[in-house]
Amino acid sequence: MDLSNLNEKDMALGCKYCIKGEKLVLYITGLCEESCYYCPLSEKRKKKDVIFANEKQINSIEEAVEEARLCGSKGVGITGGNPLLRIERTVEYLKALKEEFGSDFHAHLYTTPKFVSEKNLKLLKDAGLDEIRLHSSKLFNDFENFDKLDFLEKLKLCKNYIKDVGVEIPGIPNFEKEILDLAFEIDKIGVKFLNINELEYSETNYQSLIDRGFSEKDDTTSRISGSFETAKYIIDNFKGKLIIHFCPSSLKDSVQMKNRLINRARNVAKPYEEITEEGLLLKGTINFKDLKDVSEVLEVLKENDVEFELLNDRLLLNPEILEDLIDHLKENNFDFKFSAYISEYYPTSDKLEVERIPLVTKKPNLKLKKK
């Protein structure tokens, strides 16, 4: 396959649910037996036995189901850490999600070969796992001791139990030959796909990547130089049946995340809120200094069939209607005191506010997305 005319977006042939942001990312534990120098996990997750559903830390299956529902998820990617270090938990969550959303709710799981066993695979199969992706951490961490035969045997074992079996690795620059050899070997035993993720730096792996001679690709992203070219080399030089996917960091950061936010925003937006093109929510807020003034404003809103919510001395409503309301109040010389602003915030469970625009002083430039 000649990729010379393709851009990075064209090479992103990855999972359609991931691209649309329709997969719940279930981070089942931060525990992991490996210590990969490129591991990007954050301090609050790495080596900690914590569970996250997308960005939300959770403690129960019910919360995972709720997050999947709010994001309109069509499947789940179970990750970590190593999920097989918490096999019982993994199976419980997987079974519950399959029971709740049906057998078409596609489930894949990332793991390393170490705990791949007949017993664990049988448990995963019975819980409904559709796809397993193995990561050969020793390939890049400790190549001298990378036991290729064992890795291939574990992949073969996976094929006896799980419908789709693949390998997922970072595109480490200067490992073209090793990755290409691995691609030919796994193709011979009928592995379905090889996913190559663009190498990125994070707060936790930055220093160890720099110490090993890697460098940043540009000032605006967290991409590592040479990773894209490594993936391109593999795709250009591989001949066989194996499907090779390249997942650029821009796809993960912007497209998948944005789509997931938009999906979640659609499900959690109040009737008066607007969804931006980036999947954030906009709402207008007016605070009254004196509660007795509220009734006059409510009358105006009710007369005009306007959706709103009243929380003590705060009235929440559509941001554009709030601007009209303020104009109306000014024109009619209402003499009570109030403050008003528009909030832009994430539709995630923490409702992180990213911007607050005081209304009387500044007109916001609203880039609204129709619901």
| Candidate list 39, 191, 242, 316; residue touching ligand SF4; CB under 6 A | 39
User: Which one of residues 54, 112, 230, 256 is an interface residue with ligand SF4 (CB under 6 A)?
Assistant: 112
Spell out the residues 6+ positions from residue 29 whose beta carbon is closer than 8 angstroms to its own: 49, 50, 51, 80, 81, 82, 83, 85, 86, 89
Among 346, 265, 252, 255, which residue's Cα sits nearest to residue 72? 265
- In the complex with ligand SF4, the residue whose CB is nearer, 138 or 283, is 138
Q: Which of residues 132-151 bind ligand SF4 (CB under 6 A)?
A: 135, 137
Contact, 225 vs 201, CB < 8 A?
A: no
Phi first, then psi, for residue 228 (nearest 5°) are: -60, -45
C-alpha–C-alpha distance, residues 140 and 224, integer Å: 15
Nearer to ligand SF4, 111 or 349 (CB): 111
Does position 35 interact with ligand SF4 (CB under 6 A)? The reply is yes
Q: Choose which of 3, 20, 34, 56 interacts with ligand SF4 (CB under 6 A).
A: 34
CA distance 309 to 8: 45
Closest CA to 82 of 36, 125, 122, 23: 36
Are the beta carbons of 139 and 169 closer than 8 angstroms?
yes
Beta-carbon contacts of 53 under 8 Å, excluding residues fewer than 6 positions away, are 24, 25, 26, 27, 63, 64, 67, 68
**Of residues 81-100, those binding ligand SF4 (CB under 6 A):** 81-82
Instruction: State yes or no: residue 25 binds ligand SF4 (CB under 6 A).
Output: no
Is 101 in contact with 134 (CB distance < 8 Å)? no
339 binds ligand SF4 (CB under 6 A): no
Q: Among 36-44, 142-150, 267-275, 312-320, which window interacts with ligand SF4 (CB under 6 A)? A: 36-44
Nearest distance from residue 30's CB to ligand SF4, in Å? Answer: 8
Q: 28, 32, 71, 235: which one contacts ligand SF4 (CB under 6 A)? A: 32
Q: Which residue number, 54 or 137, has a Cβ lying nearer to ligand SF4?
A: 137
**Where along the sequence are the contacts to ligand SF4 (CB under 6 A)?**
32, 34-36, 39, 41, 80-82, 112, 135, 137
